[in-house]
């Protein structure tokens, strides 16, 4: 018996990948809150560790697309 309710669902599950980007930048609390307000029951994000051990909610393997930094 699955211990998570979504594993028992036979229908389509909609996940808000990186949140609602109309509500805030992707992977931010504002984006996730916006997705919940839109009715999403599930959120999905990407988590990476930096070389110095910091944890980031960040999708890309490069900074260029969503920041003003290179690399």
Catalytic residue (choose from 24, 36, 46, 59): 59
- For the chain, give the secondary structure using H, E and C: CCCCHHHHCCCCCCEEECCCCCCCCCCCHHHHHHHHHCCCCEEECCEEECCCCCEEECCCCCCCCCCCCCC
Distance CA 54, CA 22 (A): 27
17 is catalytic: yes
Catalytic residue (choose from 17, 24, 46, 66): 17
Q: pLDDT tens digits for 11-60?
A: 888 899 999 999 999 999 999 999 999 999 899 998 888 889 999 888 87
Whole-model pTM over 0.85: no
Top-confidence residue, 2 or 4: 4
Torsion sign, CA atoms 52, 55, 56, 60: positive
């Amino acid at each position: 018996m699955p211990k998570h309710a979504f594993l028992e669902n036979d229908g389509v599950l909609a996940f808000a990948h990186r949140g609602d980007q109309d509500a805030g930048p992707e992977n931010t609390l504002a984006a996730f809150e916006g997705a919940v307000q839109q009715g999403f029951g599930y959120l999905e994000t990407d988590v990476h560790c930096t070389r110095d051990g910091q944890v980031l909610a960040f999708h890309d393997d490069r900074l260029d697309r969503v920041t003003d930094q290179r690399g």
